[in-house]
Amino acid sequence: MTQHSRTSDTGEGTGAGADTATSAAEPGRARELYADVLTHRLPEEPARLDALTHAFDPQTRRRLDAVGVAPDWSCLEIGAGTGTIAHWLAERCRRGRVTATDLDVSLVHEPVPDNLGVLVHDVTKDTFPEGSFQLIHARAVLMHLPQREQVVTRMLPWLAPGGVLLVEELVDFPRHGLPESSPLRKVIDAWWSSLAASYGMDGGWGVRVAAAMRDSGYENVRAEADLLALHAGSPIAEFSRLTIQTIAPRLIGSGLLGEADVKAGLEEFADPGHLSFPIAVIATTGRRPRN
């Protein structure tokens, strides 16, 4: 990563304007809750995040195209992960600026173009100047934050008048296509239950994003859903498999599952006849009023 593109959560660095964040004195609570579960320091995390991008990037790019991203826009990508969407936005906004943020930006792909700033930033604590962005995008981020409703509210003034917030969230959907006898359903249920209990992840948050936006003062709020097919070799199957392998010690250690349960669930991923729809994606957009 080039030095000019990386700043700390103290807001220090050579970037200017939207790349300068105002930081709270203490680390954000989100960092404490998340870091011991799905930290970027895990050796499996780059592959897991790559699988996530392969599963979800096509739909995200389609939605951003529908928003109408313009070449001169300033955009904020929250929870950048490996940075694939931030890089895509930087290519689209060649006369603009893209800021990619995360609690840990070490996995953002290099090289970083000049119009892409990479910033360590805690969305629950740190802020940006009012009117900084025409677009803010967050995918599978707020569902992991107990302060999710407050974050929706605090992002509104970061948008320029008429600017767009696009929030995409994964939604637990195991009852459709997975019978109760399915070992994979048992594992997926334990996966979501464990993360909810450990740091407050909410697998139903996606259906409530629209209401949160309206309550916060966004207008033209719209939502849509994608139901992804899970079958052997599919991107969503690989993402789910790697996530389950990552959190398996926690599932077994907490008593939610035994080793045989995890093994049976993972074997179901490899069944060429398997087809299910355990995860939906709900995408919600809202705009800051123009006056």
Measured distance CA(251)–CA(239) in Å, rounded: 17
Distant-in-sequence, close-in-space partners of 29: CB < 8 Å, separation ≥ 6: 124, 125, 146, 147
Reported in sequence order, the residue ranges of the chain that DSSP labels E, i.e. its strands, are 6-7, 74-78, 97-102, 116-120, 133-139, 159-172, 219-227, 279-287
Tell me: the pLDDT tens digits for 101-123?
A: 999 899 899 999 999 999 999 99
Judge contact between 34 and 47, C-beta under 8 A: no
Predicted pLDDT of residue 48: 84
Tell me: the pLDDT tens digits for 52-79?
A: 899 999 999 999 999 999 999 999 999 9
Measured distance CA(1)–CA(112) in Å, rounded: 7
Measured distance CA(93)–CA(111) in Å, rounded: 17
Confidence of residue 13 (pLDDT cuts 50, 70, 90): very low
Predicted pLDDT of residue 113: 97
Of 131, 21, 122, the C-alpha closest to 74 is 131
Percent of the chain with pLDDT over 70: 84
DSSP 125-145: T-B--TT-EEEEEEES-GGG-
Predicted pLDDT of residue 177: 64
User: Quick one: CA torsion of 103, 4, 15, 95, rounded to 10 degrees?
Assistant: -100
Look at residue 173 and tell me whether its pLDDT is greater than 80: no
Give the amino acid at 121: H
Lowest mean pLDDT among 25-34, 39-48, 78-87: 25-34
